[in-house]
Structure 1
Amino acid sequence: MMKKKSIYRYMPVCIFSALLVTIVYEIGYTYKLWILKDAIVPWGYVTNTAFAYGVFLVGTMWVFHFTFGRFWLYVVANLLLDAFYAFVFHRIEEKLGIADLISVKHYHIFLIMVGLSFILYPYQLWQVKVWKIMVHKDRDDITVRINTPTWLTKKEKAK
């Protein structure tokens, strides 16, 4: 029987991806690269929280679930999804009045998203390496030494 891979093993990279997207939105807000006109939460005019902590986080989880370990498949999947976001979805956001690009173009958004994907893959490789070390570490060589407190020995000496 084949062991099922848990999708939750990709949570660290998903949370890291949400952090990176938040940082990108903060930079975009600071340098007026784009403007968010509509927000779900009051602080959402800086970071598109629905995208960063919703679609992007879940999308990252599924992309890693289906492609991790096959780098070229990961690259192709990310290129397709990032192109869809930058050239289709972002235009829909503009038409709906949710966001406007000010000093960047759609291909800049595409390049930012692809750049993030090339940061996330090595991060996940590192996470897998760390978890393997933690899980497969030999615990037989751990020695626990319990030192008797000095006050106890002094009290025993007084008796």
Structure 2
Amino acid sequence: MPVTIFTSLLMTIIFQIAYTYKWWTIQEQIVPWGFMIDVSFAYGIFTVGTFWIFSYTSHNFILYVIVNFIADSFMAYIVLPLLGVLGIAKYENISPTQYLFVMFALSFIIYGYHQWQKKIFVDN
């Protein structure tokens, strides 16, 4: 599914912007350059989550928006603060609400890309 590759690219860009503006700090990394990008998140859970959300909701835009809002809210208000408590990563110059806005806006870009891909790759 091309959407998952596009999502990984977008998350790489988001992490580079976040590193530049110090939106958050990654304190525990699994690769040497992990202080700039959380590999397990950008190429793991976020990519897999996008794949499954698209698999089950891409046929219904309203359902897609609702599921994304719930998933992004869960990440912004529960998972990332928990990572701060565990000493893995913490918010710096971005609030949970701003993070939610960035990720939720990203879901619309991803959906638009998906719709464009559906139009140019027609099954014969």
Q: One fold, TM greater than 0.5?
A: yes
The equivalent residue for 2:8 is: 18
The equivalent residue for 1:127 is: 117
User: What is the Cα deviation at residue 41 of structure 1?
Assistant: 1.0
The equivalent residue for 1:60 is: 50
SS at the partner of 1:35? strand
SS at the partner of 1:44? coil
Calculate the aligned-residue CA RMSD, in Å.
0.8
**Which segments of 5 or more consecutive residues in structure 1 lack a partner in the other structure?**
1-10, 137-159
User: What is the Cα deviation at residue 59 of structure 1?
Assistant: 0.4
Q: 2:22 aligns with which of 1, 25, 32?
A: 32
Listed one character per residue, the Cα deviations across residues 49-103 of structure 1 (whole Å, up to 9, x for unaligned) are 1000000000000000000120000000000000000000001110111112111
The equivalent residue for 2:78 is: 88
Percent identity of equivalent pairs: 43
The equivalent residue for 2:99 is: 109
Residue-pair matches, total: 124
- Larger C-alpha radius of gyration, 1 or 2? 1
Listed one character per residue, the Cα deviations across residues 128-151 of structure 1 (whole Å, up to 9, x for unaligned) are 11110xx43xxxxxxxxxxxxxxx
Distance 1:82 1:42 in 2: 27
Distance 1:91 1:126 in 2: 35
User: Scaled by the length of structure 1, what TM-score is found?
Assistant: 0.76
Distance 1:68 1:33 in 2: 30
Moved more, 101-110 or 74-83: 101-110
SS at the partner of 1:81? helix
User: Scaled by the length of structure 2, what TM-score is found?
Assistant: 0.97
Query: Relative contact order, CA 8 A, sep 6+: which one is greater?
Result: 2
SS at the partner of 1:97? coil
